[in-house]
């Protein structure tokens, strides 16, 4: 029986502020979160 290939694990960090492509800065606390999860490649 063949095993399914596993997905590579990605590291996650958390940041309070997030900048969108248009330059808008989002604060996680304005949306009820402590921080935004950021997935590293």
How would you write the pLDDT of the chain (41 residues) with one tens digit per residue? Answer: 788 887 778 899 999 999 999 999 999 999 999 999 999 87
**What is the model's pLDDT at position 30?**
97
**What is the model's pLDDT at position 40?**
86
Q: In DSSP terms, which residues pair with 21 in a beta bridge?
A: none
**What is the model's pLDDT at position 32?**
97
């Amino acid at each position: 029986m063949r095993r399914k290939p596993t997905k590579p694990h990605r590291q996650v960090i958390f940041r309070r502020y997030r900048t969108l492509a248009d330059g808008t800065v989002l604060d996680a606390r304005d949306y009820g979160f402590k921080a935004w999860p950021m997935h590293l490649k």
